[in-house]
């Protein structure tokens, strides 16, 4: 039986009968598998971020989730989620745990099985702190022309960069 042609965004090895890559025209690149957890999965509790340095409840909850993902084990019982201003949970612990359990069942790479992902995430945070989207994206800057607001954002980002550099030993 002939193999049907693959869609344009798939690389398919007909000899092995396997999809070898999924491509997105605008965002295609070859990177460490950890980057998928930095850039994707934001709405399902699957993203993995670097060190935040904050000491508020939101940052502490994000750090607890980060540690759970690094260990591949979630606390039992799950923490009661903090609520955002809109009333939505800041961390949906049940969803994040379900995501982790499914990844484990399928034996796919995840933060707890990618060596050095915590360091890679910190480097990614550092790159974002050196060139923050809110201060470098032309569209964002065009929509936010208030100079006092820009100075405030810049000061906040500078504090984050200094704290991150200190965390990294500089």
Taking the alpha carbons at both ends of the chain, their separation in whole angstroms is 61
What's the pLDDT tens digit per position in 27-48? 667 788 888 888 777 766 677 7
Is residue 27 in a domain?
Answer: yes
Residue 85: predicted pLDDT: 79
Model pTM score: 0.69
104 and 161 belong to one structural domain: no
What's the pLDDT tens digit per position in 64-103? 888 999 999 999 999 988 887 788 788 889 989 999 999 9
101 and 21 belong to one structural domain: yes
Distance CA 103, CA 115 (A): 16
Is residue 116 in a domain?
Answer: yes
Mean confidence (pLDDT) of the chain:
84
What mean pLDDT is predicted for residues 119-128?
Answer: 88
Total domain count for the chain? 2
What's the pLDDT tens digit per position in 133-162? 888 888 888 888 889 988 998 998 899 899
Query: Domain limits at 37?
Result: 10-130
155 and 77 belong to one structural domain: no
126 and 138 belong to one structural domain: no
53 φ, ψ to 5°? 80, -10
Is residue 106 in a domain?
Answer: yes
Is residue 155 in a domain?
Answer: yes
Residue 48: predicted pLDDT: 78
Is residue 103 in a domain?
Answer: yes
Is residue 4 in a domain?
Answer: no
Whole-number Cα distances in Å, 94 to 77, 84, 86, 101, 126: 10, 17, 19, 10, 29
Distance CA 41, CA 38 (A): 8
Is residue 5 in a domain?
Answer: no
């Amino acid at each position: 039986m002939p193999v049907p042609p693959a869609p344009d965004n798939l690389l398919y090895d007909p000899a092995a009968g396997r999809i070898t890559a999924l491509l997105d025209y605008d965002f295609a690149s070859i990177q460490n598998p950890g980057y998928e957890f930095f850039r994707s999965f934001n709405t399902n509790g699957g993203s993995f971020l670097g060190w935040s340095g904050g000491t508020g409840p939101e940052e502490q909850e994000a750090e607890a989730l980060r540690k759970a993902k690094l260990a591949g084990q979630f606390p039992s019982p799950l923490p009661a989620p903090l609520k955002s201003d809109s009333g939505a949970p800041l961390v949906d612990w049940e969803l994040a745990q379900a995501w982790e359990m499914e990844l484990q069942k399928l034996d796919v790479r995840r933060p707890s099985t990618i060596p050095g992902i915590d360091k890679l995430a910190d480097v990614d945070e550092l790159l974002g702190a050196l060139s923050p989207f809110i201060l470098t994206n032309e569209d964002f800057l065009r929509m936010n022309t208030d100079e006092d607001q820009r100075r405030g954002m810049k000061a906040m980002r500078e504090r984050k960069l200094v704290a991150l550099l200190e965390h990294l030993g500089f």
